[in-house]
Chain A
Amino acid sequence: KQEVTQIPAALSVPEGENLVLNCSFTDSAIYNLQWFRQDPGKGLTSLLLIQSSQREQTSGRLNASLDKSSGRSTLYIAASQPGDSATYLCAGRYVMDTGRRALTFGSGTRLQVQP
């Protein structure tokens, strides 16, 4: 059974700081990995998706990396802003016994950026 872990569960940083969120997974047979943002009481917003053949993806101040051999992905946020405060979830896409693909989610890291 695939497991996805995110540590720490919560993080508080001052505005302007660069930060890294961590995601680890137990099964290296990962099809791709997707990072999401969730604001309180809202749905999930897709931020970045990294295919298993890729090493990283960038969007604006966000950069996500994927290292299958070590079972790790990181989400780097540059020059953090109070508006970045949210819960960030990673999810690995795997092929299941049925031959179909599904996401396995981590529990998320709750980020608070202090002004």
Chain B
Amino acid sequence: DAGITQSPRHKVTETGTPVTLRCHQTENHRYMYWYRQDPGHGLRLIHYSYGVKDTDKGEVSDGYSVSRSKTEDFLLTLESATSSQTSVYFCAISDTGLAETYEQYFGPGTRLTVT
């Protein structure tokens, strides 16, 4: 398994509170991604990073911000959590590889419940 950890693995929080999820990798991969997975929607890209302090928005970025101050860490922050942000959040990493495949590897996920 690719060396990707996510913390916390489970979290319950109240509406309106800020929440930060952490993704840590030991593979020294350049690219990191945050997705959310919801029934009926599959996985949707929230934000991604192509290097330290280099981030961009994905398909469903409203209400989320990210930061990457070190290669190994990618943080996802919910500024003010809402019930619609109840979901399972996955971090992924990739790099070009020998054939420039950008093959992605996923972390174990964080289950977030906003009450």
Q: Contact residues of A with B, CB < 8 Å?
A: 31-32, 34, 36, 42-46, 49, 51, 89, 91, 93, 98, 100-103, 105-108
Contacts and interface: CB of A to CB of B under 8 A. Distances in A.
Q: Chain B interface mostly helix, strand, loop or mixed?
A: strand
B102 A42 contact: no
Interface stretch (B11-19, B66-74, B77-85, B104-112): B104-112
A89 B48 CA distance: 20
B104 A43 contact: no
Interface in B39-96: 40-45, 48, 50, 56, 58, 90, 92
Nearest to B111: A41
Interface of B: 33, 35, 40-45, 48, 50, 56, 58, 90, 92, 99, 101-109
Contacts of A51: 99, 101
B104 A103 contact: yes
